[in-house]
Amino acid sequence: MDDIKEYGSSSAGGIQCLTIVGQIEGHQTLPEETKSTRYEHILPLIAAVEESPEIHGLLILLNTMGGDVEAGLAIAELIAGMTKPSVSLVLGGGHSIGIPLAVAAKRSMIAPSAAMTIHPVRVSGVVIGVPQTYRYFARIQERIVRFVTDHSQVSREDYLRLMTNTDELANDVGSVVYGEEAVQLGLIDQLGTLSDALAYLHQTENEE
């Protein structure tokens, strides 16, 4: 379609398409063989979309595998702070930090076969076993929980229950919810496909 722009395109008008896939890369560079989305590339693009008189709305395609929490929250906060219409579409999976990214848009959608994995914050590498470390993790987790519950209809109780479930995942803590269940929980606004996401953005354009 002529009115869909991908980032880096100079064609005028319509909808900007932003793809966020793989792991969210923050200040630490991931190996070349790891599929990742670099947040320093995404942040100026979102700002440019908000400022451009030629772009009406933002279509965010998501298939994430977790990644840097700070970088993911930074992207989510920018999306949530936009005045232009935005719609997210979860395809395949929304893992960990992908959930704040999904709910940050004005309208969130999920493909019927897509899944969202909810689990507590974790880190790799050396962890210092002192009370300050545990308080730090708790504060990071609270930031994520608050963002998700503020930008969706899921209750805090349901989200915490899903996040700390010990019966769902093998060798892990958390839950996997699929398309329809994510909508029933209020985590995502509706089931949808690409055509539904585009229809929402075109409808908001016609209403202006």
Averaged confidence pLDDT in the chain: 86
Distance (Å) of CA 97 to CA 25, 73, 94, 144, 151: 11, 7, 8, 8, 14
Backbone angles phi, psi at 50, to 5 degrees: -60, -35
CATH number, domain with residue 48:
3.90.226.10
- In this predicted model, which residue has the larger pLDDT, 5 or 134? 134
> Which distant-in-sequence residues (6+ apart) come within 8 Å of 190 by Cβ?
107, 108, 109, 110, 183, 196
Annotated catalytic, 27?
Answer: no
37-70: pLDDT as tens digits: 788 889 999 999 999 999 999 999 999 887 778 8
Annotated catalytic, 96?
Answer: yes
Catalytic residue among 86, 88, 96, 152: 96
CB 178 within 8 A of CB 113: yes
pLDDT at 13 over 60: no
Structural domain for 11, as ranges: 4-207
pLDDT at 5 over 50: no
Confidence bin at 30 (pLDDT 50/70/90): low
Amino acid at the residue 45: L
Mean pLDDT for 180-201 is 96
Share of the chain above pLDDT 70, in %: 88
Q: What is the pLDDT of residue 27?
A: 66
Mean pLDDT for 187-193 is 97
- In this predicted model, which residue has the larger pLDDT, 132 or 53? 53
Distance between CA atoms of 195 and 94, rounded to whole angstroms? Answer: 20
- What is the count of structural domains for the chain? 1
Catalytic residue among 119, 151, 152, 175: 119
Distance between CA atoms of 175 and 164, rounded to whole angstroms? Answer: 8
